Copies of this chain bind each other. A is one copy, B any other.
Amino acid sequence: MKQYAQMSASELSALKNELEGAFSKYKESGRKLNTTRGVPSDEQLALCNEMLTCLSAEDYKSTNGTDCRNYGGLDGIPEVKKIFADLLDLTPDEVIVGGNSSLALMFDNVSVNVSHGVRDGKPWQSQGQVKFLCPSPGYDRHFTICNYFHIDMIPIAMGNDGPDMDIVEKLVASDPMIKGIWCVPKYSNPTGIVYSDETVKRFAKLKPAAEDFRIYWDNAYAFHGLGNSKEEIPNIIRLCEENGNPNMVYVFSSFSKVSFAGASVTCMASSKSNCEYIKKRLTAQTIGPDKLNQLRHARFFRDAAGVLAHMEKHAAILQPKFKLVTDTLKRELDGLGIAQWTNPSGGYFVSFDSLDGCAKRIVTLCADAGVALTPAGATYPNGIDPKDSNIRIAPTCPPLAELKDALEIFCLAVKLASAEKYLSA
């Protein structure tokens, strides 16, 4: 197979014609394939259908006697606090159980720090232009929160073991207006990489110029390994404690991709002292999250081991989809010098890098042929990928046959965009 860079103009032209011919057939077929979002499939959701009926007219009380139908309780019933605590290797008083959206927990947490300050500190908004470090490519909705609160975003390069910590350490230590950093430490969105032990340790040892600097540790894929050997990352809360930064990190976790994506339970974890502080705000903010839905989760999963066993069932469904993606990309694109991609061992995404300047074109070509992809640039702050090369592939939702179709179209689009690029160079 010849690398595109080594082809002559006439070879490229011939290739382009051939690709356009193949592509036009797809365009006419009227397909509608969607791989935009990291959404579980029907088959995955069905794994939990028992949760729809697992309570009864006699079963609505928590172990501590709380009637989960009634008012009361801001931070979760004991059963669910314990499940999260066990999964995250924490104590229940380091856990606050939330509603069905961990995004809402993060939004609220940023909101209150902007308006009221971190604990008894000055509100971020009264200190000047707030900045967050944003390892990129990253999760678009983290960046949306920053946008909403007019927080400047500083992109940080992502490597195979996490963000570029030399830069992170330097910036955090020197600029007191840097108040936060977004992290997805395990099976990162979208690259799928897992932070190395060394990276996690360096996070815990940060010496921020801002006393009110906080790490937003979105452990959204904490239990979402695909392979046989599950990855583990060090306990950031314990490490922060040991390094004299006990209150520096907020951990977020969620069962969105464990039980029902739209009707799960979530949690926030931090030092006991941070949790106590946060609960005071919750008293003003809410009557507390839905305890019946917590009880459903407790009944269905029983304990942390039950959650982990359940995740094996998800992995069994997802593994073939991820394999199809990486196999197809390898078969179609390997050796052409026009693409790179990740081979994640967990999470919900494959991160794809085209030749510089081709990502938007690829997404447009796919859209023309009925395949919806995550918009190019979405994985970067303000939607701007400086190289216009990153595309997030979300293989979890479509059935295998549809995914196969979508990937064939995608690979054609990559080839066509690459040929166009070399021809116009």
* A interface residues with partner B (beta carbon < 8 Å): 37, 39-40, 42, 45-46, 48-50, 52-53, 55-57, 59-60, 67-73, 99-101, 103-104, 107, 111, 114-115, 125, 141, 144-145, 147-149, 256, 260-263, 281, 283-293
Contact = CB atoms under 8 A, between A and B. Distances in A.
Copies in the complex: 2
A67 B52 contact: no
Contact of A262 (B40, B45, B48, B292): B292
A286 B104 contact: yes
Nearest to A99: B99
A317 to B, nearest CB: 15
A40 B290 CA distance: 16
A306 to B, nearest CB: 19
Contact of A260 (B70, B145, B260): B70
Nearest to A60: B52
A223 to B, nearest CB: 18
A46 B50 CA distance: 22
Contact of A53 (B57, B67, B103, B285): B57
Contacts of A293: 263, 290, 293
8 closest A-B pairs by CB:
A49-B57, A69-B260, A263-B292, A104-B286, A148-B284, A101-B287, A101-B286, A263-B290
A364 to B, nearest CB: 23
29 contacts: A39-B71, A42-B67, A49-B60, A50-B57, A52-B55, A52-B57, A52-B59, A68-B262, A69-B261, A71-B261, A72-B262, A73-B262, A99-B99, A99-B100, A99-B290, A100-B290, A101-B287, A103-B285, A103-B286, A103-B287, A107-B284, A111-B111, A144-B283, A144-B284, A148-B281, A148-B285, A261-B287, A262-B287, A263-B293
A333 B79 CA distance: 48
Nearest to A71: B261
A381 to B, nearest CB: 14
Contacts of A288: 101, 262
A57 B300 CA distance: 14
Contacts of A39: 70-71
A59 B53 CA distance: 11
Nearest to A53: B53
A63 to B, nearest CB: 16
Question: Max chain B CB contacts within 10 Å: which of A40, A50, A260?
Answer: A260
Question: Max chain B CB contacts within 10 Å: which of A37, A107, A262?
Answer: A262
Contacts of A262: 68-73, 287-288, 290-292
A69 B259 CA distance: 9
Nearest to A280: B148
A279 B284 CA distance: 23
Given A100-B290, A144-B284, 12 more contacts: A52-B55, A68-B263, A71-B262, A99-B100, A104-B285, A125-B125, A141-B284, A148-B285, A261-B287, A262-B288, A262-B290, A263-B290
Contact of A290 (B56, B107, B145, B290): B290
A285 B104 CA distance: 5
A378 to B, nearest CB: 14
Nearest to A116: B148
Contact of A52 (B40, B45, B107, B292): B292
